[in-house]
Amino acid sequence: MEKIIFYEIKETLEGKGLFAVCDVPAGQKITQYSGSIVAYEEIPAHWINHCMWMETDRWMIIESDGRYINHSCSPNCEVVEGNYAVTTRDVKKGEQFTIIYNRLRPQDYYDYEKNPEAYQWDPRWTFECHCGSPECQGVINKYKVIGNVGPVNFVPETDTTYDSLNKTCIVQNSVTGRSVIAKCDIQKDEMFLKCPVLVFPEDQWPLIEQTALFHYCFAWGEDGKLTGLIIGTGSFFNHSYTPNAIYKKNYPGHYMEFFAYTDIKKNQEIFINYNCDPDDLSPVWF
């Protein structure tokens, strides 16, 4: 079978480039990157801008036509499994094929977060981009995570709230309104929920008092002059003088943290004492 060539190499103001010789649909393999695989230290200086990171300390010195594929911040190709440049959208005859050079693939994101030093940007790669796309980054001088990081690459350590623990849910009934329910067994002293707190300045309390927010707000800050509103599940705990959970205000982080005060069984409702101290029997405000 005759191999169809979709590109021609042409000179551009910024060196050679690969251009479409016909209309090319999305998903078409254009060319395969190939060349020697070496450690970073072994890349000859004059090849430094024609190499591609493969994995850990394995770099490809690109010897195939792929080395002429130029950068665009809004490219029409990407490099996929097998080191093929593949079109990501329809490309018209005469258009230049482009990829994004400083893209950090979503599958590398987890590693990048844990080990940013391994993703050093060599200053010799830096250049000024003239791709003209609305997304143009200008000077290309660092890696950029592009694409949906997605659940597979979810980084629990970077999550600032614990809603993702998925240990609670809100149920609704006509008697008590909304209730927070344990979705699994929770052990005494375990932090099972951490919610962000929206903080209002002191002078807004007289306004908040006149709204439905009144029922969800509480004093915030060391001197209690600010007003806090929990965003998320934490706003829906019902009150009990014999609670099975307690909460702690994290002022610097603007969080409310919830801990089990007793063992809590799956499907049990979780209660807090609105007075904060679980044994404080003072009347609550409603």
* Interface mask toward Zn ion for 67-86; x: CB under 5 A: ------x-------------
Q: How many residues bind to Zn ion according to rule CB under 5 A?
A: 4
Smallest gap, in angstroms, from Cβ of residue 96 to Zn ion?
13
Q: Which is nearer to Zn ion, 15 or 156 (CB)?
A: 15
How would you classify residue 207: left for phi > 0, otherwise alpha for psi between -120 and 50, otherwise beta? Answer: alpha
Is 264 among the residues that bind Zn ion (CB under 5 A)?
no
Q: How far is the CB of 68 from Zn ion (least distance, A)?
A: 18
CB of 137 to Zn ion, least distance (A): 6
The residue (of 91 and 129) whose beta carbon lies closer to Zn ion is 129
> Length of the chain, please?
286
- Report the half-sphere exposure of 134 (CA within 13 A, side-chain side): 0
CB of 26 to Zn ion, least distance (A): 21
Q: Which two tokens stand for residue 102?
A: 């400083």
- CB of residue 28 to Zn ion, shortest distance in Å: 23
**Cα 280-284-286 angle, rounded to 5 deg:** 165
* 156 half-sphere exposure, CB direction, 13 A CA radius: 5
Contact present, 202 and 225 (Cβ < 8 Å):
yes
- Residue from 37, 136, 181, 208 touching Zn ion (CB under 5 A): that is 136
d(CA 100, CA 22): 22
Shortest distance (Å) from residue 133 CB to Zn ion: 6
At 79, list the tokens: 């490099």
In sequence order, the 6+-apart residues with CB closer than 8 A to the CB of 72 are: 96, 98, 99, 100, 129, 131, 133
Q: Are 224 and 199 in contact (CB under 8 A)?
A: no
Strand partners, 198: 229
- What the block records as the tokens of 46 is 């004059």
Question: How far is it, in rounded angstroms, from Cα 144 to Cα 102?
Answer: 6
Q: Which stretch binds Zn ion (CB under 5 A): 9-17, 91-99, 135-143, 181-189?
A: 135-143
Report the distance separating Cα 145 and Cα 113, nearest Å. 11
Give the nearer residue to Zn ion in terms of CB position, either 131 or 217. Answer: 131
Q: Which of the ranges 17-25, 136-144, 145-153, 248-256 carries the binding residues for Zn ion, by CB under 5 A?
A: 136-144
Name the minimum Å distance from CB 127 to Zn ion: 10
Instruction: Considering the complex, state which of residue 136 and residue 208 has its C-beta at the smaller distance from Zn ion.
Output: 136
226 binds Zn ion (CB under 5 A): no
Which residues 105-134 are close enough to bind Zn ion by CB under 5 A?
Answer: 129, 131
Cβ–Cβ < 8 Å for 187, 263: yes
Which residues make beta-bridge pairs with 79?
85
For 241, phi and psi rounded to 5 degrees? Answer: -85, -5
- Site for Zn ion contains 100 (CB under 5 A): no
> Judged by CB, which is closer to Zn ion: 73, or 230?
73
Judged by CB under 5 A, does residue 146 bind Zn ion? Answer: no
Span near Zn ion by CB under 5 A; candidates 35-43, 49-57, 65-73, 233-241: 65-73
Minimal distance, residue 144 CB to Zn ion, in Å: 11
Binding residues (CB under 5 A) for Zn ion: these are 73, 129, 131, 136
